[in-house]
Chains A and B, each alone.
Chain A
Amino acid sequence: MLKQSGLTPDSARYREIVPAGGYWIKRIAKDQILRIVDLEGNQAADTLFFCADDPAERYSAVDTIRAQGNVYLGLGSKLMSTECNVMLEIVADMVGQHDTLGGACASESNTVRYALDKRTMHACRDSWLLAIAEHDEFKLTKRDITHNINFFMNVPVTPEGDLSFADGVSGADKYVEMRACMDVIVLISNCPQLNNPCNAYNPTPIEILIWGTA
């Protein structure tokens, strides 16, 4: 189900464009609204959330899937933590379906999925690792890199148990918007993947907007 946001970009307190292959990390406060915009379409925003006061509590794909009884994320999805608390809720969505099964690309999984000589290609996990190294104020390490959300990405599953990476259902200027239900650290890799159709083999920028008081 699609729902347009009532918020206008010119009223946002924060706007930033994250280039393809870049990262974004920031603390946002409870009740702030976070929007991620797929500026050119068919991009994937690989996103992790951590409880700001206790980063050992973090986004849990399996608890989110189980709690809502559905594998896909969309409008109304409550993004659950490892302690089964609601971290954020999707309050507007122009895409309809987001993935949280497929994980992030890594140099090492690229060797398995495509070819051993892909091991030096840039990958989401490298962006995350650089982000937490350059922002040690968040006290995150590789231990904290866990299963993520792929906003805008389409990973359909079937009753027979198959799973595939399909062409995206997103498009230029489509967005997803969340309300934070606790103070959270947001860590995003704007996916640099060049080997599969999740971003049409063409990584493009995303925009981040925030509304509400810090």
Chain B
Amino acid sequence: MPDYAWPDREHRSLIGKRIGRVDSPAKVSGQAKYTYDVHRPGMLYGKVLRCPYAHAKVIGIDTDAAEKMPGVKAVHVVQGPGSNIHWAGDEIVAVAAVDESTAEDAIRAIKVQYQQLPHLVSDAEPPKGAAQGQGPLSMDDIDDMLDNQVPSQQMVAQIQQYGITAKGSEDALKGLKADGATDAVLEAIRTATAHPEAASRPKSNFQKAAAQTLGDPDKAFTEAEVVSEGLYGIPVITHCCLESHGSISEWTDADHLFTHISTQNVSGIPGQMAEPLKMPATNIRVQQDHVGGGFGSKFSPDRWGIFTAEISRKAGGKPVRIMLERDAELKVAGARPSAYARVKVGAKKDGAIVAWQSESWGTGGPGGGGMPPIPYVFVVPNQRKEHTAIRNNIGPARAWRAPNHPQAAVLTICALDDLAAKLNMDPVEFFGKNLDLAKPRQDIYREELAIASDLMDWKQKWHPRRENQSGLVRGVGLSFHTWGGRGHASDCDLTIHPDGSVDLKMGSQDLGTGTRTCILIVAADTLGIPIEAIQLQIGDTIYPPSGGSGGSTTIGGVSSSTRRAAVDARDALFAKVAPALNAQLDQLECVNGTVRVKGDSSRSLRWKEACSKLGAMPLTVRGKNPDKSKAPDLTSSGVGGVQMAEVEVDTDTGIVKVQKMVAVQDCGLVIDLKTAESQCYGALIMGISYSLFEEKVMDPSTGRMLNADMEFYRLAGLSDIPELVVRMMTGKGYDERGVIGLGEPPVVSPGAAISNAVANAIGVRVPFLPLTPDRVLAALGQKAGA
């Protein structure tokens, strides 16, 4: 049985070292091609007319003038008369023309009549008694869910849980299918219980989930010696990918579509386009070389990916490019749900946390959204939790790095930090004391907490919260986080050619996380040849399928399939080479560009020479993940991380400057230390950005996003970034866990850590992120007036 397990430290030539990103030279020289850069012969340019209203019905559309304009090649109504529009910026008509300006002129020439409907864009605390329990779903509800891109699994769960108001006719079901309902959803509707009496109930924007209780919270609060109550929250923010969403689609013949798309999910795109385009997935080819950011927002072709293909068909199959404008990118292409809570926590005098109570709310747009996993990391033995989802018209939510975790960290760790302050305890001591509630990762956290404290010089910097601060004041704060991991499904083909060249093909994508680099490190380490000796091809559906890059599952998937392929290829090569070296298979090893007998340097073949023993035909093997026949599992799940922040606050202006951040992170076996550290640096920077600046601001009267540009939707700039210290946990106790992803975990804690540092600095909690000057001054003012 071949040994697929990761080599131990002494037998790794590349794995775990600090290896440079292989696509850096292409990126720094402008040679790297992104979807937005693809220029196909005869390409047409598409533009989209968007609804200016947050809630409206389309009454009429007049495209005559646009269709007659010279240079306009196709006009495509996306949502025709009768369509209900649930957010401002939703797509109504698309146009393809010979150049962008002509397409823009054509868009201006289209007339649309709307009936405006009442909208809600606020996610403020729901009025008392306004929330209603979720009742049975109507066909309209289900249609709305489809419009709002609610995942199929979630729809099925809701249909099963709540039932439906009326059995849908087969015609109605056909309509749902045409709108994108999966077979699983249709089956759930067919088998759901009908509650016709519920159909007449008016629908509320506020939907209460059933309360969740653990232990005996009432008793625990009476027995608690110190109780802290507070308000905490984190608003809706956007993904703001620098490369906007979009695609270039063309029909290579009447039945075959070729799409370049900016995506996190190359292999998964054809399957999602097939049904709406009524064609087999196998006739759809998708290609992407580089992607300019995704962060969870680019798994689907999206409605615009579908109509780009449709409008290309209308234009005789010519390539059509539709990339979202910046304002559309911020309005419709991705938002992280908000979360707010009134939290009450209780502890014993010695700091032991005993009770948690929370009333939380938040919005994920028209779909509402669920409760973040609170209390986070620390499983408080007695809890009561209630959550109200706000269904409103801000546009649909999407997964944003570590979905629900940054929210959970702010709601939990900030509330517990206030409790520590009330106990007059140093948070390092307080959280350290309660780490047994953080099972099963308590030991990892304990080790990380000590390292982070040293790196931050916490003992020198922490002070109890002080009253009546003025001028420039400093403080420190910390937070904890976790995430799952494992590896997604991944196939790859590794070929060794008789001339010694090697290629590896995989339908994966590199989001800038270092996926290419890590695949090459694993293959090169296993084959004992340099990275440069392997040609890697990814980003195309002609290669074996590999999963979407989400949930920190990519590194686990691609490193496992690559390792298995490389081990099998190596062993197949050994079989050809063994006779020449007069050795048994298990005596051979691949080291330093040679195939040799272990411990006998005289019996050795150079790589090229060894490969020539393959004969005329190259050797190709398929590596897979998961693959139970090829144990062990090379991945693991469940990481721990601790972060600390130091801030300086100007109490006169309310301006917060982060002075230093420390991230101590575990992710099992690190494949490439350099890009792993970069992931953490990047996460800290993104975290500073959402802690201090980012918020999707909605105008209550017009229902539109007010800051849909990059001047007022502010990202952190270089000068906002302080000294950053990153420490990856490696070696014994970590390496043997296997590979675990790193995309999500380090971005979870900055919000809570920075908020806690500000509270430590100014002596009072600023309840909501981002920690803007007005919010800081308001919190200081409230304290002064109290």
A and B from one assembly? Answer: no
